[in-house]
Amino acid sequence: MVYGAVSRVLFPVAIVALVGAGMWGYQEHNEKNSILIKAENSYQRAFHDLTYHVDQLHDELGKALVVNSRKQMTPTLTNVWRLAYAAQSDVGQLPLTLMPFNKTEEMLSRVADFSHRVAVRDLNKEPLSQKEYGTLKSLHKHAADIQDQLRKVQGNVIDKQLRWMDVETALASDDKKSDNTIIDGFKTIEKKVQEYPELDWGAGIQSLDKKKQMRIKGIDGKKISKEEAKRIALDFVGKQEGKGVRVDVDENGKGEGYSAYSVRIHTPNERSSINMDVTKRSGKVVWLMDERQIGKEKISIEQARKSGQKFLRAHGYGDMEVSEVDNYQGSAVFTFVPVQDGVRIYPDSVVVEVALDTGNVHAFNSTEYLFNNKKRTIPKPKISKEQARKQVNPAVKVTNQRLAMIEGKSDGNEVLAWEMTGNYEGNTYLIYINAETGDEEEVVKMITGGGNQPHGTR
Amino acid sequence: MRKIWFAGIALVVAAVVLSGLTLLSSIENQVVNKVAKSKANQTKFHASQISDNDLRLMANAVYGESRGEPFEGQVAVAAVILNRVKSPSFPNTPSAVIFEPRAFTAVADGQIWLEPNENASKAVRSALKGWDPTGGCTYYFNPATATSQWIWSRPQAKKIGKHIFCR
């Protein structure tokens, strides 16, 4: 009796609840589907854009080989640059990150750099060399391979309505058995690219990276032991082991750009540690980082600068001049450069962060210094101060001028340059005029301002 | 009479000119003072790098990826993002690197939108100033949670906190 009465009331309620739940579920399902389709469409767009751009890239590379007039060469090469760049950006939008596709991406980026460098050069003065033609020719061939393979994958995607969302799940599951046409297609491309012989990209591109690698690996001197690294690290920060100070030394793997021990000094009373890298050869401190939380600011930027300079002198870096300064979050960060015969040596810069509460050095980075420092003979400038000034855009108001050694943009070799501080429409720029040829080497936009400017601390 | 008039006018003219000059020079002085003051106050002079909003985006990514890690580990994550921007096998802007599909788990699961703390943005600033504890790495993973086998094949540089950094 009672059961009947209850069920008479509850049955319609249950029906309404069921229908409501069903409707809600259906709506959720629809919404999920529409989001999935949106995500899938953005992958599809990136993928079809990629094949389109590679198609065009292949055609443009072919044109670059056929074109004979220099007037046509520049636009063709700038097109190659634009298309390679676009293709690389398409790859970056596809879910391929944890899949070996980086060689292909690297190749696209190299093509962009190579074509840009050649295109912006004055081709009347310096036409394409035989070597560069050779590079273009092989690039044209490689582009054809990639294009073929991509077209095959694209055909499959359209025929079988393959979805990139499935690629994503297949990659996420990391299942060896999962057979995915798209993944296989991209793996084939990557394999092909890996098999290409190393191309000659000319000075400037790989040489810049390689040079750095070599210099870093080539720090010579006596090999030091773990114990010695520990002692060097403790000496560097003026601390002693014991009394709660504990030191860990790590050997590190081979993947690091330079071979160094990682030293961590734990100081429990300050509840923080100091980390640093000490090179395995000759035991130089590459960088240092103190993890202590910085308290209330007590000292001025000027006092901080003096403290930084004192630190550098104490650690054998000699007298250095501030070239850049920044301050944020309770610390001041200075870039110091050595000065030799009145010339600033920018490649030998050292960065020092000073905590504005205690005035102590909070962090230190001498990577550039260690890998560039050498005995230099500074050449005499062939371009006079006044001649250099004439090379600067007349609309720029030059306020300061000095000589400096900088790393040349084109091939990474050091060049002597006139550095001019200039103002244009309220902005400050550093302009570098090659002191030997009078060429404008580089222009750097500077950020200037006081301590509490809106663009400073946020 | 006339002479006195002339003398009077001359006196007034001289007074006006003199007061005008002093006024001008005081304005000039003010301007000069202002310039001198702003020079003394100038505590920033460095090459332009990324905008403050890009910096916040990077801080978000660093915080989402490594908030439980030591400061060095956070600088290392920021350095990996910057190394990827420089590397030819990755996109060319910080945002493209951060939002590259499947590149960072914190981006995939939305943890990137947590409010970052001061340490995370400090870590990004340190990396921008050139500190790179990884020595040029472009990958890192947590060995306890890594799902990809391929990542183990990369040459490893060092372990910081829970992350292994590799090339």
pLDDT exceeds cutoff 90 at A363 = yes
| Residue pairs between chains A and B whose CB atoms are closer than 8 Å | 176
Q: What is the CATH number of the domain that holds B116?
A: 1.10.10.2520
Residue B81 is assigned to a structural domain of this protein: yes
Which of A256, A284, A364 is most worth mutating to test chain B (most B CB atoms within 10 A of its CB)? A256
Task: Give residue A458's pLDDT band: very low, low, confident or very high (50, 70, 90).
Answer: very low
Between chains, do B165 and A252 touch, taking CB under 8 Å as contact? no
A446 CA: distance to closest CA in chain B (Å): 4
Kindly state the DSSP code that residue A308 receives in the 8-state scheme.
Answer: H
Q: Which residues in A lie closer than 8 A to residue B126 (C-beta atoms)?
A: 289, 353, 363
For residue A7, give the 3-state DSSP assignment: helix
Query: What is the model's pLDDT at position A345?
Result: 94
What are residue A19's phi and psi, to 5 degrees? -60, -40
Q: If you average pLDDT over every residue of chain B, what do you get? A: 82
DSSP code per residue over A107-133: HHHHHHHHHHHHHTS-TTTSPPPHHHH
What are residue A335's phi and psi, to 5 degrees? -105, 120
* β-pairing verdict for A343-345 and A397-407: parallel
CB interface of A with B, residues 326-355, below 8 Å: 326-329, 332-333, 335, 351, 353
Number of domains in chain B: 1
Q: Which residues in A lie closer than 8 A to residue B132 (C-beta atoms)?
A: 287, 367
Residue B149 is assigned to a structural domain of this protein: no
Residue B60 is assigned to a structural domain of this protein: yes
Q: Nearest residue of A to residue B95 by CA position?
A: A92
A193 interface with B at CB cutoff 8 Å? no
Instruction: Give buried/exposed letters for A43-81 (b at 16+ CB in 10 A, else e).
Output: bbebbebbbbbbbbbbbbbebbeeeeeeeebbebbbbbb
DSSP code per residue over A176-212: SS---HHHHHHHHHHHHHHHSPPP---TTTHHHHHHH
Q: Which of A301, A324, A333 sits opposite B47 (nearest CB)?
A: A324
Two tokens at A226? 């773990």
What's the ipTM? 0.87
For residue A204, with 0-12 CB atoms within 10 Å meaning exposed, 13-18 middle and 19 or more buried, which class applies? Answer: middle
Q: What is the pLDDT of residues A108-149, one digit of tens each?
A: 988 998 999 888 888 888 888 888 899 999 999 999 999 999
* β-pairing verdict for A397-407 and A414-424: antiparallel
Token look-up 């790859």 returns: A91
pLDDT exceeds cutoff 70 at B12 = no
Alpha-carbon distance A312 to A107, whole Å?
A: 42
Between chains, do B43 and A332 touch, taking CB under 8 Å as contact? yes
Residue B85 is assigned to a structural domain of this protein: yes
Q: Nearest residue of B to residue A455 by CA position?
A: B52
Provide the whole-model pTM: 0.85
Residue B147 is assigned to a structural domain of this protein: no
Find the angle CA(A365)-CA(A370)-CA(A373) to the nearest 5 degrees.
125
DSSP code per residue over chain B: -HHHHHHHHHHHHHHHHHHHHHHHHHHHHHHHHHHHHHHHT--EEEE----HHHHHHHHHHHHHHHTTS-HHHHHHHHHHHHHHHHSTTS-SSHHHHHTSTTS-HHHHTTGGGSPP-HHHHHHHHHHHTT--TTSS--EEE-TTT---SGGGGSPEEEEETTEEEE-
Q: What is the pLDDT of residues A8-33, one digit of tens each?
A: 888 889 999 999 999 999 999 999 99
Between chains, do A93 and B122 touch, taking CB under 8 Å as contact? no
Domain with B108, as residue range(s), is 52-134
pLDDT exceeds cutoff 60 at A452 = no
Between chains, do A100 and B150 touch, taking CB under 8 Å as contact? yes
Q: Nearest residue of A to residue B47 by CA position?
A: A446
Which of B41, B46, B54 is most worth mutating to test chain A (most A CB atoms within 10 A of its CB)? B46
Q: Which of B70, B121, B149 sits opposite A174 (nearest CB)?
A: B149
Q: If you average pLDDT over every residue of chain A, what do you get? A: 86
Q: Which residues in A lie closer than 8 A to residue B167 (C-beta atoms)?
A: 255
Query: What is the model's pLDDT at position B8?
Result: 65
A146 CA: distance to closest CA in chain B (Å): 16
Q: What is the pLDDT of residues A243-302, one digit of tens each?
A: 778 888 888 777 666 788 999 998 876 678 899 999 888 888 999 999 988 999 999 999
Between chains, do A332 and B90 touch, taking CB under 8 Å as contact? no
Q: Which residues in A lie closer than 8 A to residue B133 (C-beta atoms)?
A: 262, 275, 277, 287, 289
Query: What is the model's pLDDT at position B136?
Result: 86
| C-beta atoms surrounding A416 within 10 Å | 20
Is pLDDT larger for residue A6 or for residue A355? A355
Q: Which residues in B lie closer than 8 A to residue A277 (C-beta atoms)?
A: 133, 135
Task: Give residue A373's pLDDT band: very low, low, confident or very high (50, 70, 90).
Answer: confident
Residue B104 is assigned to a structural domain of this protein: yes
Token look-up 């309620």 returns: A13
Between chains, do A324 and B46 touch, taking CB under 8 Å as contact? yes
Kindly state the DSSP code that residue A435 receives in the 8-state scheme.
Answer: T
B146 CA: distance to closest CA in chain A (Å): 11
Query: What is the model's pLDDT at position A270?
Result: 64
Q: Which of A250, A363, A458 sits opposite B126 (nearest CB)?
A: A363
Residue B129 is assigned to a structural domain of this protein: yes
Residue B56 is assigned to a structural domain of this protein: yes
Q: What is the pLDDT of residues A202-230, one digit of tens each?
A: 655 555 555 555 555 556 778 888 899 99
CA B131 to chain centre: 14
pLDDT exceeds cutoff 80 at A182 = yes
